[in-house]
Chain A
């Protein structure tokens, strides 16, 4: 059952359209990430839900009630900001109990709840420290505890980990997810880090230019991107421009070479398409190995090798990128001629449009 609903939200700032019709339905206890580059509107959407801004058009509904016109301090939502949101004149404990104080809970009840929450975020011992005495990671834990203290209906997080070190980020995102699952609280999470979004969310909504490009589970977003932007934004993708030659058998032509792609079946001859292949799906062999039984191959030369630990990324001529185990990669050094096998199935195909967003290389 839908708990949090964003209906057709529109918001413009002067001539800039920050949101052009956002529709989201979150079930109770669900964790949804709004993922996208800066300026895509994700923070705007979050702030509309929190009440710090009013939409030009559209509604926000929580548990069946329209809260679009409700003041932010009456929405009963907990928000964790990117940074600097802890009150500097209060200790961690006082920060966490602030919401409870405002609601008039008595001292004893407050104390118990605060202790409980500080334990939950792993800061039971640091309750009497001031924000300036806490590290960035610890501050965000306090911020989380503070947001949860009032038992909000919805938890909102605005890029809470962006300002932290890489290692702390990974650690803390796991904790956020763990706590969220434990409490079963409906959560809306904004981030520009696609790894983060994929790692901890039930669903991900990729946003660009004020609209949702695609929404789905992390796995769906990764394996079956529906737009070129999503394909590029999530992970790295090989993009091959091709033209359908025989729609019946699924044959396409890319740079003069015929390839058979299952997903091309049923398309019109002459359609211009984009073949999307994940780097790990591209099989490489040294040229002249005679292993081209399937003949769904492209020839290339290795240009660079990037050591990434257990995996090595090879970049080749023709813009091809392939990931393979480091052990095998030693057989294909820079300058080697290789043969890349394109799997016929499991490869995504998109209609080619002229407005391909340029995001540069994926992470």
Chain B
């Protein structure tokens, strides 16, 4: 550019301060603004995508870094396959219970007749409790249903010692973990399904009644179908949530055979000594969760469409 042009350019820029038409109109300025977002993408690549990718790669390598399926094949044997079933069992049960109970509790709080303060208390509490979990939660349940727990002691005083009499309950067990998991599964369900219940417009109920439908007919033809995408989406969310959980299970029963514990064992110096097994296990988790995500997205879209 000619000297003349450059001087004018500098003067213009100085005079107009930051009036940079380029940014707002600009194909020419694209690179500069784009650069400002670069740190984020670089960061995400370095700390999210690269590590995730390396897990996938490592799952298919042996100790000598040769490509192999042996790790993956091992996953289908004991104890790994049992760990997967354990994880899936816990996730399915807590997701199913969380969804059904959560739906009824949320509906109970929102329906006509229930005072408004109950709904807002429930929502606020759920917002806080959904983020609970881990070590404090485990202790709270040990304090409730453990061998010296408040409820255990009370039942014992009534003649039923659950630590050894049937029906038998132990907090350090798969059942115990499920009971504890409900403490964050239920609130999560409530948070997810409440807006969907709100979305059940009163006009639909009235129109249905006007056309002759009884309560159950409304639910069967309109209520449940409209809630279904949100319900299924919530189920998937809850499943993934339980599947990936680590801390609560670790604190309650760190011998339990589920995937996260197994992975953790390698790093906390327990059983595993082959890092590639841990990576294969992690890869297996990733696959299960990816399948869940693929199922989740179209459901979300459907639910959003009917909420309009």
- Is A in direct contact with B (CB under 8 Å) within the complex? yes
Which A residues are within 8 Å of any B CB, using their own CB?
50-52, 71-79, 81, 83-90, 98-99, 101-103, 132, 143, 146-147, 150
Please give me the residue from chain A that is nearest to B305 by CB atom.
Answer: A132
- B189-206 interface code vs A (CB 8 A; 1 in, 0 out): 000000000000101101
Give, as a whole number of angstroms, the nearest-CB distance from A106 to chain B.
16
Judging by beta carbons under 8 Å apart, are A50 and B210 in contact?
A: yes
Judging by beta carbons under 8 Å apart, are A89 and B211 in contact?
A: no
Judging by beta carbons under 8 Å apart, are A99 and B211 in contact?
A: yes
| Chain A CB within 8 A of B78 CB | no
Give the segment of B17-25, B165-173, B217-225 that binds chain A.
B217-225
Please give me the residue from chain A that is nearest to B224 by CB atom.
Answer: A89
Judging by beta carbons under 8 Å apart, are B217 and A102 in contact?
A: yes
Judging by beta carbons under 8 Å apart, are B204 and A85 in contact?
A: yes
Judging by beta carbons under 8 Å apart, are B212 and A102 in contact?
A: yes
Give, as a whole number of angstroms, the nearest-CB distance from B304 to chain A.
11
Give, as a whole number of angstroms, the nearest-CB distance from B200 to chain A.
10
**In the complex the two chains form, what is the Cα distance from A83 to B206 in whole Å?**
12
Option from A72, A84, A150 in Cβ contact (under 8 Å) with B209: A72
Give, as a whole number of angstroms, the nearest-CB distance from B306 to chain A.
4
A143 surroundings in chain B (CB, below 8 A): 207
- How many positions in chain B have a CB within 8 Å of any CB in the partner chain? 20
Q: In the A-B complex, list the 4 residue pairs whose CB atoms are closest, starting with the nearest.
A: A99-B211, A85-B203, A88-B306, A89-B225
A76 surroundings in chain B (CB, below 8 A): 212
A83 surroundings in chain B (CB, below 8 A): 203
- Given known contacts A87-B222, A89-B226, A79 and B207 CB-to-CB distance under 8 angstroms: yes
Which B residues are within 8 Å of any A CB, using their own CB?
201, 203-204, 206-214, 217, 221-222, 225-226, 305-306, 308
Give, as a whole number of angstroms, the nearest-CB distance from B205 to chain A.
10
Judging by beta carbons under 8 Å apart, are B308 and A146 in contact?
A: no
B207, B210, B217, B222: most-surrounded residue (chain A CB, <10 A): B210
A132 surroundings in chain B (CB, below 8 A): 305-306, 308
A76, A78, A85: most-surrounded residue (chain B CB, <10 A): A85
Please give me the residue from chain A that is nearest to B225 by CB atom.
Answer: A89
**In the complex the two chains form, what is the Cα distance from A103 to B210 in whole Å?**
12
Judging by beta carbons under 8 Å apart, are A150 and B305 in contact?
A: no
Judging by beta carbons under 8 Å apart, are B212 and A74 in contact?
A: yes
- 19 A-B pairs with C-beta separation under 8 A: A51-B209, A51-B210, A52-B209, A72-B209, A73-B210, A73-B211, A81-B203, A81-B207, A84-B203, A87-B221, A89-B222, A98-B211, A99-B211, A99-B212, A102-B211, A103-B212, A132-B305, A146-B207, A150-B211
Please give me the residue from chain A that is nearest to B227 by CB atom.
Answer: A89
Judging by beta carbons under 8 Å apart, are B204 and A87 in contact?
A: yes
16 extra interface residue pairs, beta carbon distance < 8 Å, beyond A85-B206, A89-B306, A132-B305: A71-B209, A73-B208, A73-B209, A75-B210, A77-B210, A79-B206, A86-B207, A87-B208, A87-B226, A89-B226, A90-B221, A98-B208, A98-B221, A102-B211, A143-B207, A150-B211
